[in-house]
């Protein structure tokens, strides 16, 4: 699996910690930046990640900003992207089971590291249920 990661300055520290957490899994990580806590614009990094996923260059993506809200909005502007903002494990699980989310958004200023790791692990490991949910996803695109 190829997983793209991107963040603005508010999500940079969490992105780096999650990247390290994921290194122990059989995943190719594509880090699209940012590379510091210097102020940058989240739409640029949401777009980079969404384009990678939408084009098939990455299987899924995780984006980070201060709350996860802005960068999730930026990512969801692209056809074929279903970026779910998750603040707990239940949201992460359901975003995969029912919405087949292909991107996850996390907030570096609202989540603790251990909580974020749990959210990522559940999101990575949960499969899409298909069935009646596929019909609804088809309506999105």
Task: Report whether pLDDT(24) > 90.
Answer: no
Q: Which fold has domain 2-140?
A: Ribose 5-phosphate Isomerase B; Chain: A, (3.40.1400)
Dihedral sign for Cα 85, 87, 92, 95, please: negative
What confidence score (pLDDT) does residue 48 get?
98
CB atoms under 10 Å from CB of 54, counted, come to 17
Helices (DSSP H) in 1-141: which residue ranges?
A: 12-22, 42-54, 69-75, 89-97, 113-125, 132-140
The domains of the chain are located at: 2-140
Which residues are the active-site residues? 65, 98
How many Å is the Cα radius of gyration of the chain?
14
The per-residue pLDDT for range 95-119, each reduced to its tens digit, is 999 999 999 999 999 999 999 999 9
**Residues contacting residue 94 through CB under 8 Å, at least 6 positions apart:** none
User: Model's pTM, two decimal places?
Assistant: 0.97
Q: How far apart are CA 64 and CA 54, in angstroms?
A: 18
């Amino acid at each position: 699996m190829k997983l793209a990661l991107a963040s603005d300055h508010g999500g940079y520290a969490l992105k780096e910690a999650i990247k390290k957490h994921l290194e122990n899994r059989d995943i190719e990580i594509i880090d699209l930046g940012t590379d510091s806590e210097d102020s940058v614009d989240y739409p640029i990094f949401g777009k980079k990640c969404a384009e990678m996923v939408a084009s098939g260059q990455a299987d899924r993506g995780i984006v980070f900003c201060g709350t996860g809200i802005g960068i999730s909005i930026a990512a969801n502007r692209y056809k074929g992207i279903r970026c779910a903002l998750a603040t707990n494990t239940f949201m992460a699980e359901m975003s995969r089971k029912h919405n087949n989310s292909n991107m996850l958004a996390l907030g570096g200023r609202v989540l603790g590291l251990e909580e974020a790791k749990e959210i990522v692990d559940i999101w990575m490991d949960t499969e899409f249920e298909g069935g009646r949910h596929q019909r609804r996803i088809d309506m999105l695109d």
